[in-house]
Structure 1
Amino acid sequence: MACTSRIIPLNLSRSTGALKVECFRIDESGYTGFDLLNPEQRFQGATAIAIGDDEARRLIREHLPTLQADELKYRALARRSANRPRLMALQRDLLSHYKCATYVCDKRYLLLLMFLDYAVEPFYYERGMDFYQDGQNYALASLLYTVGPALLGQGALDRLLASFQRAVKEKSPAALTTLVQAARASRWQELPEVLGPLAQFAAPECLRAIAAPGVSTDAALVVLQSLVSRMEIMADGPYRVEHDQSKNLLTYHDLLQRYIRHEDMVTFRQSEIASITFPLKLQSVTQVDSRNSPAVQLADVMIGAAIEAASTLTGQRAGALDAQEVMALYADHQLIHMLPSIDFDEQKRFRQGTQAAQVIDYFAENFHEP
């Protein structure tokens, strides 16, 4: 990371006149690029907070008056037991008095959803069936996540998913053949509706979708889409985004540029509580050195604690803070999550009437890398 700030203002063509442009600060955690099976980083997420640097600096002094470090980092602070009540109080203050949104996803579950998008859905689309109706893809991904390891044979689901993300990345005939072989080597007859297109038919429409330019298992698009949809609701008018200039966030930065430049008028309903409308109220995105931005540092604390809480609650590792207490700080509208659920009736109700197929097609056409 450079020692000086690198400021990159974007798309200033939409003049906001004398309007005050609200600023959300963003930080992420758990980014592993195309590899969503990294066992050490099971969750990925990001937090957005509407707060200025002066106010953020005041809150840091108030809640962590003895802080000696130049930069607020959740992981370093949480190691010391004396800091933990202060970190809880800081998050409570932020969530009670400032516009905040945090997104957390289980990357293995997200990879299963992507598998259904590209290795299964095209087979049904060619036969005139809406694979996404009432969110049944989420139910199938949850079913695979929960019972797939036992149902498909020892290690079969892991091999299938590893082959899938490698095929998406490499897009070579050899990688696609390996994927089909992994499907056939599983007990795919136990779930023929899901694995039949690859195992039984080596469906060319599915293989073409996997090999299509721009298709990726990088979760940045999903994380950003969810976070932007929430910021669009929270913002009273035009707003901008600042985020750290870390290498991980370069992907987010490029995607936000494309979001800002997109001028088509369109709205998509994504779930019972989420929708996204273009053109966005988002006006610009700037990269800053987080050491010079107390507000970005607060976003680091929020997402660090949320990811750690998710890891604790799923038994992956014990966190420094009480995970239940961290999650209890959030109101429903402040926390977005993509986690498996076998409450299929609730999943159907929550996603009834959504436009999943249209959203996927639209974003693939307009926002994936060429």
Structure 2
Amino acid sequence: MPSRTTVETYTVRNRRQKYDETPRRKEPTRFSSTSVKAAPAPRPDKPPAPFGDLSRAGVTEPCDLARVIWPSQTRSGSEKRRAGVRMLFGHLATLPGDTWQERWEASGFDDENAPPVSILGRQTVRYDRSNMTSALRMTFAARIIQPSLSGFRANKFIDYAEPFRQVQKDPGLDEFFETVDDQRHLTATHRLRAKFDLACALTTQGIALEHLPPQHCCTTRWRTSAWASRTVLRGDFEAAAFMAMKEVEVRVRELAGLSNSVIGKTLMTDAFRPPKNANDPNDHGGPLWDPTADPGEAVALMELFKGAFGTFKNPASHRRVDFADPTEAAEVVLLADLLMRLLDKIAAAQNAATSP
């Protein structure tokens, strides 16, 4: 029986309150693993460097870079930002190491339970602390320093994802952000969090989007729903696979114009079926049947969608399905993402056929 502890606290109005701090019993789970242990990505031969290799640059070069990344309408605003960069790199320059990365790792700001860099700001100077944090944000986004996850999370960035995207100049990353923004069924907070999570992963792994492993983010588009990826990371593998395939089902029904009562494998058959009578000029097959494709390949496409649903979607609709391997759950989400890409091509062909 857990012990009971009562803790007294004071609110901002100085009213004494009590709350129960009794340890809660951990509920059992049907999953053999309740979290994904993200595997670090292999170090690429050429790490991302949107402004070139600045690992051994002088202090003045990052200061000049701040003016490029943060164009300000006022001279004072630009000087404040450059002052933060000078303070940050001036401090790092006093530490041992031949590169900024080595000096950063020797600073103590990259360790477990590291303090934020804002502690370097002068107490008597207004905006010093925020300028230091902004300077670090620029340093991470420009890939001058690759922080550890602890070093990154120690600092509170008001906005990181969008400035990071702008600096990278990566068309794939731009597409990712646009796709997340299109998920209007999610709240603005969830969309922002999705973009931040990806920017954080790319920054701390020191990689570009094309090198992001499925073990860390599960999918590179999130067209199959941002929540599918986040559910894998929470350890609910069954729900992640189900939600990803559900997004595919919704998209097929939308493109085929079929009723909501047509579901699962029946939906895939009706949408992609070949003509029942090849000699009947009025029988064009299912709404998503491609008469210009090789008949065998077109039938195989139908069977691909049917097989995916019969294996990963339908069983989870009727009973519990245990995914003990997080990698397997991530790959189901990736399979759903591939199916969405194929549907995108079908949609593009439909639009081209109907356009004047």
TM-score by length of 1: 0.22
TM-score, scaled to structure 2: 0.23
| Larger proportion of strand | 1
